[in-house]
Amino acid sequence: MDRRDFLKSTLAVSGVMLLGGANVALAAPEETQSRQADEVPPLPWGYEELDPEYVRKLGHLGYYAFACSGGAFWAIMTALREKIGYPYTLLPLPSIEEVKTAVAEKKSLMVPMLYGEGGVGGFASLCGAPNGACSAINYAVEKEVVLDVSRKLLRWYEKTPFPSEISNEYAVNHQFLVPKYKSDKSLPQSVANSVLCHVSVSRWCVASGYASGSSERSERCGRLTGDVAAMAVSFLNAQLNGKLDEVASLSLTQSTTECRTCHEKGTDYEEGDFTRGYMECESCHTDMRPHIAENKIRTAFGVDVETWAGAAAVGTVAGIGSHLVANKVRNKENGATEEGQEDS
């Protein structure tokens, strides 16, 4: 539904409101007269194609004011508000000018999603940039698309070198919107292989030699915030044009694909359905000894418990895995549902 549709549907109500003289300014000025003050339409609020480069710059500026999560959210929502207007005008978002002033004067401003900073209040769990971006996506599109795009954005995050070349260029050439840079150097890149703030920041610090409290690390996360917000709208643009599958796919790592033949969200506990997820398993589970310990795998496939040899064990697991893939694929073709479409 676009703005005109919203306006049409609210015309009748607004007449009554004007007679009552009780109109309250919640929305953009030119629209205020035509709408009931407390009318918040149900989600989704709709999406129109956005310019990823504009959103990248807003994300970087947003980071300076609200950090990663609030910054990514503010960037996408600000672009949507400019493009679509109502109902995005209902959100409590400071304007670009207000944000620039606050950054210049080091004043504190609030936006939704800012709790996600540093993986939720600095706890370093889920990186705030995808957290904020996915929250923005949540307003714009249907539920299935929200879950699909969010999942693909996280997977893209895992394997992408940050900060992007283009963000480095913007910083070096002073093309971002911030009044004063934390650093305008071209910063080293690293791939997190994880969606965790903890891993993402730690790997970058080790790769670059900068401390976690350095202004370079902060700048890196600012550029990353722009990069993630930009990719989120690129995915939404592709989705709008029916091209999401061309632009983004889950393309899980080989290990994750193998592990998930047994370990996924499912009902066969014995087989390994006591976990869930699409993350890169190997970023945390490097010790595969459990699979050659005294357990069902060993009994079923005869791996020697006493002689631990990493390669052999993982190889065995992979072998077993590919054997089971065939069964799994057949099950899926028989109508089993994909994760995300069932109870979460």
- Please give the residue ranges that form the binding site for ligand HEC (CB under 6 A): 196, 255-256, 258-263, 271-272, 274-275, 277, 279-281, 283-285, 290-291, 295-297, 317, 320-321, 324
Q: Are 65 and 102 a contacting pair, CB within 8 Å?
A: yes
Short-list 262, 122, 281, CA closest to 197:
122
Query: Please, which residues have CB within 8 angstroms of residue 82's CB and are 6 or more apart in sequence?
Result: none
Q: Nearest approach, Cβ of 300 to ligand HEC (angstroms)?
A: 9
Cα 105 from Cα 62, distance rounded (Å): 15
Per the structure block, which two tokens stand in for 267? Answer: 């009902």
Q: Nearest approach, Cβ of 63 to ligand HEC (angstroms)?
A: 24
The string over 242-275, giving b where at least 16 C-beta atoms fall within 10 Å of a residue's C-beta and e elsewhere, is eebeeebeeebbebbbbbbbbbbebeeeeebeee
- Closest to ligand HEC by CB, 89 or 261: 261
**What's the distance, CA 123 to chain centroid?**
17
- Closest to ligand HEC by CB, 182 or 260: 260
Q: Nearest approach, Cβ of 344 to ligand HEC (angstroms)?
A: 16
- Closest to ligand HEC by CB, 62 or 116: 116
Q: Nearest approach, Cβ of 260 to ligand HEC (angstroms)?
A: 6
- Closest to ligand HEC by CB, 48 or 282: 282
- Closest to ligand HEC by CB, 111 or 129: 129
* C-alpha dist (Å) from residue 278 to 152, 194, 229: 10, 11, 21
Q: Nearest approach, Cβ of 254 to ligand HEC (angstroms)?
A: 9
Q: Nearest approach, Cβ of 201 to ligand HEC (angstroms)?
A: 14
Per the structure block, which two tokens stand in for 324? Answer: 């089971």
- Closest to ligand HEC by CB, 159 or 296: 296
* C-alpha dist (Å) from residue 140 to 9, 43, 93, 102: 19, 7, 16, 27
Q: Are 251 and 74 a contacting pair, CB within 8 Å?
A: no
- Closest to ligand HEC by CB, 24 or 284: 284
